[in-house]
Amino acid sequence: MKQFFFLGWIVVCGILAVPISGPAQTTLEKIDKSGVLVIGTRTGSPPFAYVNKNNEWVGFCIDLVEKGILPVLHQKLNKNIKVEKKESAPQTRIPLLTSNAVDLIAETMTDTQSRREQVDFSLTYFATGAQFLVKKGSPIKNIQTIAGKRVAAQQGSTNAKLIRERVPSAKLLEFPDQPAAFQALAQGQVQAYTNDGIQLAGLRAKAPRPDDYAVVGEFFSYEPYGMAMRKNDSDFRQAVNVGLMNAISSGLYFEIYDKWFGAKGEVPYPMTAEIKRFLQMQVVPK
């Protein structure tokens, strides 16, 4: 028995050791020292962040960081800053931030109240809501018609939780990433895949035969995307927000939007007047 108690002690000590924090260093100091801004983003989430046909890691979020936020950091720190990208997933992004592995999460992360207990968010840079991706001609039209159906969702997404609460009779299957969920839909393992509407539009655009699929249903959730940062680091947060506000007020944001979501973009998704107004109203005067 003795060795069990010993093991128990190791575990307990390990847990107690975790909260001990190192010397506080602000994110701006960290970036200044290393000359690198490390962002956590996705490789399979077109057109926000993904690896394209030429094997380049690109996307809407990455452009916002490189063209919008980076110039502010340049100015503030008075030196050249490089961007380093790391893969983050819904389950890893908060630990990546709190462990200092990345400085900024720039991907399709919904700003929520419970997440705000752990991390700070930038202003909302994109707003969407949950819908369904189905095969053309599917009887599923919206959240009211999924009762008893097999529905895929992404693990760690807010949509899965909503489906479970609102339509408990739906057979919910959760996959760790978009490709697996899409494969399940393509093969008939599930009859619908729910995620944020814009991501479904992106997935459909990337499908071998986009016309075989349809994005259906009105938004059954509100998903405002924000960039996440470590808590209580207001100087860095200010830099990120100023970068985004400058991009919106100078029109750069809309150029980038047009590049990815315009008629000739990766995923055509015209911006509504309502969203445009909402973005502009987040910009406070200089």
Which residues sit at the interface with another protein, rule CB under 8 A?
Answer: 4, 7, 11, 15, 18-19, 21-22, 24, 90-92, 94-95, 98-100, 112, 114-115, 117-119, 150, 152, 155-158, 160-161, 171, 173-176, 180, 183-184, 187-189, 230-233
Nearer to another protein, 66 or 87 (CB): 87
> Nearest approach, Cβ of 115 to another protein (angstroms)?
5
Buried-exposed string 266-281: b where 16+ CB fall within 10 A, e elsewhere: bbebeeeeeeeeebee
What residue type is 221 in one-letter code?
Answer: S
Nearest-CA neighbor of 224 among 116, 127, 95? 127
> Nearest approach, Cβ of 32 to another protein (angstroms)?
18
Which one-letter DSSP state was computed for residue 92?
Answer: T
> Nearest approach, Cβ of 179 to another protein (angstroms)?
11
Q: Alpha-carbon distance 200 to 94, whole Å?
A: 24
Q: Who's near 122: CB < 8 A, 6+ residues apart?
A: 226, 227, 228, 229, 237, 240, 241, 244
> Nearest approach, Cβ of 38 to another protein (angstroms)?
16
Judged by DSSP in three states, 177 sits in: coil
Token code pair at residue 201: 């539009």
Nearer to another protein, 15 or 281 (CB): 15
Nearer to another protein, 99 or 250 (CB): 99
Nearer to another protein, 135 or 259 (CB): 135
CB atoms near residue 32 (< 10 Å): 16
Nearer to another protein, 145 or 154 (CB): 154
> Nearest approach, Cβ of 164 to another protein (angstroms)?
10
Nearer to another protein, 21 or 78 (CB): 21
> Nearest approach, Cβ of 8 to another protein (angstroms)?
9
* Cis peptide bond prior to 47, omega within 30° of 0: yes
